[in-house]
Amino acid sequence: MLARQFLESLPEFSSLFKPGHSTPLYTISSYLGPGLFKPGYPREPKSFGEWLRKFRLDQGLLIKDFARLIGVSEDTVINWEKRNVKPRGRAREKLTEALRRVFGREKWDL
């Protein structure tokens, strides 16, 4: 209950709370960012895998959706994020192209 009281005290959140209604956690987390409610969220990434996981979570994408967007398997994304395997060859090209095309940044230091 303390978290709700704290959030109700913030002007930008007060409109979310109506007497007698509960506010879904996803509504609150969408305002506060994914890091507050996601276990293992890398707040300060120290490796490529952590950076990629943070980037994906910040975009609100599941591993399967991110993999489909890039054109690689879910296992490939898991290897990049959790096993800190760096993208190579065709997978690297696909990742770079998807990041450029979808997220509008020309240069990515992978």
| Cut 0.85: pTM above it | no
pLDDT of residue 40: 72
What is d(CA 32, CA 20) in angstroms, rounded to the nearest whole number? 23
Alpha helices by DSSP H, 33-88: 48-58, 63-70, 74-82
Domains and CATH numbers, the chain: 2-32 (no CATH), 48-103 (1.10.260.40)
Can you give the pLDDT of all 110 residues of the chain as single tens digits?
455 566 556 665 555 555 555 555 445 555 555 555 566 778 888 999 998 998 888 888 899 999 998 899 999 999 999 998 999 999 999 888 888 887 776 665 65
- Tokens standing for 97? 């192209």
What is d(CA 38, CA 104) in angstroms, rounded to the nearest whole number? 26
